[in-house]
């Protein structure tokens, strides 16, 4: 088996020992290879001298890597914050020294590891496809992860989450917004609010800013679970507002040339275009829309909720509207500390994106829930399978002060959150960087 990637507690980065990418054949063969040893592994203690193990499976390669890099930053910040002042391998001192101590401010009160024992995070590249996510889930489950954060894409979640559900391993999704994710099973939950809650907010803001909108065109990637789920929500909301689309254009995630669809759309003179696409294909479509002469309003969905779109659509990103589940301007102790930690790590006045905040929140939730479990039944003497069940119950029963605001969960794992925002992209004069400007 290839060795995993590990975030070292407080170490400020990743030590990579993964020599080869996960292959589709591994995803198919691994369950059979592991079936014989899984049961015995589940009876071993949940935590050991090295720490309390959890895992993250995120897209570090493929077309979802634009999201995965944002998530990697959030996980690193959360791990340092959680482990600040924790003992290392049962000895005194801090995990990571100064770096961890400075990161402790990322969320007041979350430091100290898991009651003094460091949290360890195994990071696996789930790539951007289903077989890689399945293979990564199997690997981290067999290696004893108490919980999995991920995968990055909803399409992957529908394929990989059932693997964890069958093994009784809690999964906390940091970025899966498609309808039906928590309903995959009782061990599946998410900190990413579903599209049905968020998407209509941006439409309402577009109509407020431009009351004369009459003709709406819709684009979505028909081979992506997130896009197909979100566009259905957008189209339903448009119909409820008396604006059924004049055209619905279907694309593919791998598309880079949209001239035919755009030309057909522009003949219909839309004054609003609504996109449910991911960062790369969405950024390219926006750039081509503007280059071919469209000057109207553009509303985009959660797939474009990352600063990584700026180098793609460049100056043409300016003015697009997006609803968000996170704002760096949220004035709470947890968010102020998170923003400060992000800026220390990135340098200057950097602004944390939503996916970084959600990844931070996911690991924070798992860490806080693990502490509660460990106080009730020490993880060092609790069988892994039993600890996983207890952790799942603890995740769902808690209330958490996070960068997203206060959150909790419904009984089926849906995040309950009250702070939502609508932003407009404002590009810098050079057209290579910008920011999400919070609209009042």
pTM for this prediction? 0.85
Q: Using 50, 70 and 90 to split pLDDT, how confident is the model at 338?
A: very high
Higher pLDDT, 11 or 215: 215
Within the chain, how many helices (H) and strands (E) appear? Answer: 13, 17
Taking only the tens place, the pLDDT of each residue in 261-320 is 999 999 999 999 999 999 999 999 999 999 999 999 999 999 999 999 999 999 999 999
38-52, 93-107, 168-182, 274-288, range with the lowest pLDDT: 93-107
Mean pLDDT of 102-125: 78
CA 165/CA 429 separation, integer angstroms: 49
Measure the CA angle with vertex 413, ends 116 and 375; round to 5°: 25
Domains and CATH numbers, the chain: 5-193+333-409 (3.40.50.2300), 195-324+421-438 (3.40.50.2300)
pLDDT at 432: 86
Residue 27 has pLDDT above 60, yes or no: no
Q: Is the pLDDT of residue 151 over 60?
A: yes
Ramachandran category for residue 336: left, alpha or beta (phi over 0 → left; psi -120 to 50 → alpha): alpha
How many other CB atoms sit within 10 Å of the CB of residue 146?
26
Report d(CA 306, CA 439) in Å as an integer.
Answer: 17
For the four alpha carbons of 65, 67, 72 and 75, in that order, the dihedral sign comes to: negative
| Residue 257 reports pLDDT greater than 80 | yes
Handedness of CA 90, 95, 98, 103 (dihedral sign): negative
User: What 3-state DSSP class applies to 283?
Assistant: helix
Q: Count how many Cα atoms sit within 13 Å of the Cα of residue 384 in the half-sphere of its side chain.
A: 24
SS3 string of 93-136? CCCCHHHHHHHHHHCCCCCCCECCECEEEEEEECCCCHHHHHHH
* Helical H segments across 122-173, by residue range: 130-142, 154-167
């Amino acid at each position: 088996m290839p060795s995993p990637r590990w975030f070292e507690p407080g170490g400020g980065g990743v030590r990579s020992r993964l020599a080869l990418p996960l292959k589709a054949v591994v995803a198919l063969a691994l369950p059979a290879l592991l079936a014989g040893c899984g049961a015995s592994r589940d009876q071993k203690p949940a935590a050991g001298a090295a720490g309390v193990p959890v895992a993250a499976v995120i897209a570090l390669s493929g077309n979802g890597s634009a999201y995965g890099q944002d998530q990697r930053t959030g996980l690193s910040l959360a791990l340092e914050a959680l482990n600040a002042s924790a003992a290392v391998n049962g000895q005194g001192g801090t995990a990571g020294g100064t770096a961890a101590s400075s990161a402790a401010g990322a969320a007041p009160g979350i430091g100290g590891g898991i009651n003094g024992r460091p949290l360890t995070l195994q990071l696996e590249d789930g790539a951007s496809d289903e077989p890689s996510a399945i293979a990564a889930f199997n690997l981290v489950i067999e290696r004893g992860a108490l919980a999995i954060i991920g995968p990055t894409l909803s399409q992957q979640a529908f394929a990989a989450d059932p693997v964890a559900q069958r093994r009784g391993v809690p999964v906390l999704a940091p970025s899966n917004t498609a309808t039906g994710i928590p309903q995959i099973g009782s061990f599946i939950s998410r900190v990413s609010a579903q599209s049905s809650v968020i998407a209509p907010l941006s439409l309402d803001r577009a109509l407020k800013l431009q009351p004369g909108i009459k003709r709406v065109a819709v684009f979505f990637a028909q081979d992506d679970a997130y896009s197909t789920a979100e566009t259905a929500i957008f189209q339903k909301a448009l119909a409820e507002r008396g604006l059924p689309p004049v055209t619905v254009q279907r694309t593919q995630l791998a598309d880079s040339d949209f001239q035919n669809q755009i030309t057909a759309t522009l003949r219909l003179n839309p004054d609003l275009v609504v996109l449910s696409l991911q960062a790369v294909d969405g950024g390219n479509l926006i750039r081509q829309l503007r280059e071919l002469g469209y000057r109207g309003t553009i509303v985009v969905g959660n797939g474009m909720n990352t600063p990584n779109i700026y180098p793609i659509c460049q100056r043409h990103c300016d003015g697009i509207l997006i609803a968000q589940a996170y704002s760096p301007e949220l004035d709470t102790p947890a968010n102020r500390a998170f923003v400060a930690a992000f800026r220390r790590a990135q340098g200057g006045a950097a602004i944390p994106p939503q996916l970084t905040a959600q990844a931070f929140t996911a690991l924070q939730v798992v860490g806080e829930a693990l502490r509660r479990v460990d106080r009730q039944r020490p993880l060092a003497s609790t069988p892994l399978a039993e600890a996983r069940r207890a952790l799942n119950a603890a995740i769902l029963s808690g209330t958490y002060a996070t960068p997203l605001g206060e959150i909790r969960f419904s009984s089926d794992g849906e995040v309950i959150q009250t702070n939502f925002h609508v932003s407009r992209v404002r590009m810098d004069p050079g057209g290579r960087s910008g920011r999400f400007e919070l609209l009042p």
